[in-house]
Amino acid sequence: MQLFPQGPAALSPTAPAPDAKFSAPSSLEVAVIGGGPAGLMAAQVLSAGGAKVRVYDAMASVGRKFLLAGRGGLNLTHSEAPERFVTRYGDRQDAVAPWLADFGSQAVCAWAQGLGVPTFVGSSGRVFPQDMKAAPLLRAWLHRLRAAGVQFSMRHRWQGWDAEGRLRFATPAGERCVAASVQVLALGGGSWARLGSDGAWVDLLQARGASVAPLLPSNCGFDVAGPQGQGWTPFFRSRFAGQPFKSVAIRVRDSRGRVFARKGEFVATQTGVEGSLIYAASHLLRDEIAAQGHASFELDLLPDRSPEQVLADVRHPRGSRSLSSHLKGRLGLEGIKSAVLHELLDKSAWQDAGQLARAIQGLRVQLLAPRPLDEAISSAGGVRLEGLDDQLRLHGVTPGGATVFCAGEMLDWEAPTGGYLLTAVLASGHRAGQGALAHWRGHSESSAHAQ
Ligand SMILES: Cc1cc2nc3c(=O)[nH]c(=O)nc-3n(C[C@H](O)[C@H](O)[C@H](O)COP(=O)(O)OP(=O)(O)OC[C@H]3O[C@@H](n4cnc5c(N)ncnc54)[C@H](O)[C@@H]3O)c2cc1C
């Protein structure tokens, strides 16, 4: 897949000239490490408040995952009411609510509009930029940040702190150490590592005593057990991998009694299932596999028909037609819907109209494992919110006396797709930026008094 058709340098905020070793900027410069949407939003708030800001990023250009999100239309936020919106953050909603109160979905739309990118509400209530692209928005944002004086140091991979508490970066010119009394970490989660967010920061922060929940796949696909416990059969895989299950519903009830039931779409993959409907249930399915070693969902292939209708059609005399032709003719079951029934339903159940009708509207799909974190849309886990104050300042991690803030997907919250990810990422960047600004002002005033 070619992610950057014009080359990533097209969005590079600086010429990638390596900075000199130990050319430490003033410790009054706020260091934002990670140039994804969370870090850029923190940099925006800080520079608007008068702080000198430098953004460091491991990659040659910033915002690569944001650009990737643009390939799917860039779902920026959701138009639903704030009371409903906040529930999307599950058991983290109380912690996320204040971030959204300051910078919620309306603020996201106003921010995009302010960058010359109007938004629209799609039929599902999801909000997108009018051109459905990320690159124009990112380009305008970087232009604004540069104009406000934000500096960028690319190809600076943060590697922790040195003995004096300076930030250590691996750069093409070798190691570079930078003093900064206020630091914002916005290092992303652990998926799509080739775009920069590799989760390597977990060990670095844990070594300093920060409490970090393991990074786990969120909004992810799953491997299925298939008929023999070894995935789809070669026949099913070769014919149907990549094909969608459309207008279906899934139901999940986990061992804790949590229930998920929704209509939608998903896709068969080489090893299992993925796509929006599966992503929406993925936190339940992932946690169930972790707790029980396996999980399953019921697949309703005909969610718009009543069980009585389906049973009547299955029972209807079929004359000389095969059962498959009968189901196709009476119920429209064909293609991947018919194939998955053949794949997963016992031969004996095909002889019993009642069992067959029930399976058509509740076929059990057993899952073995979530797909690896690197393939996921987002990560669960991260820096525990209990270890941060309400300005997202990290407790107990004060390298060389510096104050450290964290923002974005590296924090321990998760949400479904629908614009909820980017909204909380931007909102937490906004909040950490405000917290960092207040600390930066304190530092600059005390150093002005000292002179
Ligand atoms: C395929 C896909 C589609 C998506 N679509 C959507 C969507 O439509 N809507 C939505 O809301 N969300 C979407 N998301 C999720 C969204 O893109 C992320 O949640 C968001 O980008 C996270 O922002 P962040 O700033 O926290 O981290 P990232 O965007 O991951 O940025 C982190 C930055 O930190 C840098 N970094 C990491 N480690 C280091 C280090 N050690 N030193 C220096 N720099 C480092 C990285 O290079 C990167 O630039 C999608 C994700 C994927 C994978």
3-state SS track over 217-264: EECCCEEECCCCCCCCCHHHHHHHCCCEEEEEEEEEECCCCCEEEEEE
Q: Would you say the pTM of this structure is higher than 0.85?
A: yes
Ligand 1 atom closest to the CA of 38, numbered from 1 = 25
The closest alpha carbon to 366, from 274, 254, 231, belongs to 231
- Ligand 1 binding pocket (C-beta < 6 A) is 33-39, 56-59, 62, 64-66, 68-69, 72, 74-75, 157-158, 186-188, 191-192, 196-197, 200-201, 377-378, 408-409, 419, 421-422, 425
- At residue 20, the pLDDT reads 38
Q: Residue 182, SS3?
A: strand
Work out the number of other CB atoms within 10 angstroms of the CB of residue 84.
10
pLDDT of residue 176: 97
Q: What does the pLDDT read at residue 448? A: 66
The answer to whether the beta carbons of residues 33 and 184 sit under 8 Å apart is yes
User: Which is the closest atom of ligand 1 to the Cα of 77?
Assistant: 11
- The 10s digit of each residue's pLDDT in 211-250 is 999 999 999 999 999 999 999 999 999 999 999 999 999 9
Give the number of the atom of ligand 1 that is nearest the alpha carbon of residue 156. Answer: 43
41 CA to centre of ligand 1 in angstroms:
13
Write down the pLDDT at residue 451.
60
Distance CA 351, CA 334 (A): 19
Residue-level pLDDT at 450: 64
The string of pLDDT tens digits covering residues 82-141 is 999 999 999 999 999 999 999 999 999 999 999 999 999 998 999 999 999 999 999 999
**Low-confidence stretches of the chain (pLDDT beneath 70):** 1-27, 448-451
Asked if residues 414 and 287 have their Cβ atoms less than 8 Å apart, the reply is: no
Find the 416 Cα to ligand 1 centroid distance in Å. 15
Measured from the Cα of 428, ligand 1's closest atom is 26
What percent of the chain shows pLDDT beyond 70? 93
Q: List the residue whose alpha carbon is closest to atom 52 of ligand 1.
A: 377
Probe residue for ligand 1, chosen from 62, 89, 187 as the CB with the greatest number of ligand atoms within 8 Å: 187
| In contact, 349 and 355? CB cutoff 8 Å | yes
Nearest atom (ligand 1) to Cα of 422:
11
DSSP structure string for 106-148: HHHHHHHHHTT--EEE-TTSEEEETT--SHHHHHHHHHHHHHT
Q: What is the 437 CA–ligand 1 centroid distance (Å)?
A: 23
Nearest Cα residue to atom 29 of ligand 1 = 36
Q: 160 by DSSP, 3-state: which?
A: strand
